[in-house]
Amino acid sequence: MNGFPSIDRLYFENPSLRFAGLLASLVMMDEFHRLDFRPGTTVYSPSIVEHESVDALLAVLSQSHVNGTLYRGQTSRYEAIYSGRIQKLSSAVPDIAKVTVAFESLIPSMFRSVCGADDDWDDYEPLRILDHVANSFRAISSSKNDFFRNLLKEILQIEIPLLALRNGLARNADLKIDFDLGESIYAGTTNTPKRLMSLISISQHYDYRSAMVDFSASLEVAAWFATHEWNSGNILDDGQRGVVYRINSAALSSILAKEFSTKNFPDALKVRANCLYGVADISHLSSDYGKRPGAQFGASIFGLENSLLYFLSHLSTNDVFEIHTFPVMRGGYNSLDIDKADLVPEQDEVASLFSNKFIESRHSLENNEIAKFMKEENLQPDVISDVLRFRDSGFV
């Protein structure tokens, strides 16, 4: 597709000193000015480890499992190709009119509809932060679930004003104030506050589209997703190939912390204000948040629509991103003792809260929707006025 998503666009124009020279040299070395991270295409692209069966995969990967390792199982593999102009690079080297980046992708569900070959990232308008939970907001505000209504109330009352201050300062180029909310506010190593991140992740686990990709700390859970159709729960037919992605979350978090620090990256504040990125564990959330996150040993990674995360991962000295495949063979699951009922527990009230009624209700929130909910929750008029003003300013 044409153009680059938000983090790519900001980073490629002002890369960190660590990678600026490498980025330019890799592009110049390729006859077609490509950065090709598809498996097996270049010396810096990841390799694919092929296993004889899912049992063999489980045996090998379980032996090398360490805390912080995350897995994602899929029944198909996908690749993305972005092509666009990097202004500063083209100005320095006029022959480079466009740069193409190709990679094996894990695109978040929210962005899959805009990632076709004929689509253009430059036409995509990034969502304001509250619009990431627009359908969840509507589901919660129409419900009588006290826990989630209180969660949404606290997001609006506590986290949104902090985000508005951070984003307002970040967008003022003259101030250059690094207003970092810190680990006490942010979830995991993301740039997203805990309550808001929880709501985004929970929405994803109950089949609402989101800006994150769900992973699992459990290899067995990932193997189930790599061998079964989600809707039916049926095992794939013989001859198909399952895939399990393994990510070293500690290494990925370390890379992002370095690259997105204001010391290394001139536009770090803009990224922090306009994009979602990072890793968060949601498996520890109480059953009040629903039963699926715990049952699936859930984790969330934000920002995987950006080729930069793959670029940084594949060029790192650590084994951040691995791809493991295997042929599907019915009856070849002796080590896999999981069925869909384990992953989607019964008597889960949250499943009915996030119903199909609002699953496609992703259009931007209206001010009257926000004000109505805040009034129902007895928030003070000045608090309501502030949130609406932040919305109108584009900060949240």
Better pLDDT: 203 or 318? 203
DSSP 264-333: T-TTHHHHHHH---EEEE-TT--GGG-SHHHHTTEEEEE-TTSHHHHHHHHTSSS--EEEEEEE--TT--
Give whole-number Cα distances, 387 to 93, 113, 172, 320, 376, in Å.
46, 30, 19, 39, 15
Six-digit token pair at 114? Answer: 């805009």
- Give the best-scoring range by mean pLDDT among 13-27, 43-57, 174-188, 210-224: 210-224
Per-residue pLDDT, 166: 81
DSSP 357: G
Round to whole Å and give the CA distance between 35 and 81. 10
> 26 pLDDT band (50/70/90 cuts)?
confident
Per-residue pLDDT, 335: 65
**CA torsion angle 108 187 197 144 (round to 10):** 150
Per-residue pLDDT, 317: 67
Per-residue pLDDT, 175: 54
The residue-averaged pLDDT of 282-298 equals 91
Per-residue pLDDT, 265: 76
Average pLDDT, the chain: 87
pLDDT digits 0-9 by tens, 303-359: 999 998 988 888 776 679 999 999 987 665 666 788 899 999 988 999 989 888 888
Counting every residue, how long is the chain? 396
Residue 244 Ramachandran class (φ > 0 left, ψ -120 to 50 alpha, else beta): beta
Per-residue pLDDT, 332: 59
Per-residue pLDDT, 150: 96
Six-digit token pair at 347? Answer: 């008597």
Do the beta carbons of residue 281 and residue 287 sit within 8 Å?
A: no
Per-residue pLDDT, 40: 85
> 117 pLDDT band (50/70/90 cuts)?
low
pLDDT digits 0-9 by tens, 377-391: 999 999 999 999 999
Cβ neighbours for 261, distance < 8 A, ≥ 6 positions apart: 268
The residue-averaged pLDDT of 125-147 equals 91
Per-residue pLDDT, 120: 85
Give whole-number Cα distances, 139 to 143, 148, 221, 236, 254, in Å.
6, 10, 28, 33, 36
The residue-averaged pLDDT of 205-227 equals 93
Round to whole Å and give the CA distance between 141 and 148. 9
Which of 9-13, 24-28, 98-102, 258-262 is predicted least confidently? Answer: 258-262
Burial of 17 (0-12, 13-18, 19+ CB in 10 A): exposed
> 173 pLDDT band (50/70/90 cuts)?
low
> 224 pLDDT band (50/70/90 cuts)?
very high
Q: Does the pLDDT value for residue 67 go beyond 70?
A: yes
